[in-house]
Amino acid sequence: MNRINYWAVGAAAVVTLVASSVYYMVFGGVWASLRGVPTAAPQPWELAGQLGRNLVEVLVMAVLLSRLQIRTRREAAGFGLLVWLGFQAMMIAGSVLHESYPVGLYVLHVGDALMTTLLVVLILSTWRRGRQATDGPGQAVTVSCRRIR
């Protein structure tokens, strides 16, 4: 766990909360019509709960990236796609198969999950603790958690 950049974890959790908020602002009408409920802004406790959930997910992703020694943004993106497809997309698909969950809601939610998963792995793989982030051989970029002015 000593290779985890906790600033990057916190930043990724906040970025994904903001990105999901924008995503559901854009698709909120679709979500409301598929659910058969009126559009409503989330309550403050829901946002706090989602931020906590994001922190757990991002921290677990950071541990996995570190332990699997994923070093490049390309490797991180590939890993993120696998996590999204194998876990997130398939878990939500279970609701479609067994609980009559609307396919439109499935598509809406897995789209958000894909976007946020890719944001997380890209932030974590780019903002490493005093290490180099790369896109591949010969494309190193030194990144540290020092204050940027």
**Residue 140 pLDDT grade (very low, low, confident, very high; cuts 50, 70, 90):** very low
Q: Looking at residue 130, what is its pLDDT?
A: 53
Summarised one tens digit per residue, pLDDT across range 110-122 is: 999 999 999 999 9
Q: Looking at residue 3, what is its pLDDT?
A: 82
Per-residue H/E/C for the chain: CCCCCHHHHHHHHHHHHHHHHHHHHHCHHHHHHHHCCCCCCCCHHHHHHHHHHHHHHHHHHHHHHHHCCCCEHHHHHHHHHHHHHHHHHHHHHHHHHHHCCCHHHHHHHHHHHHHHHHHHHHHHHHCCCCCEEECCCCCEEECCCCCCC
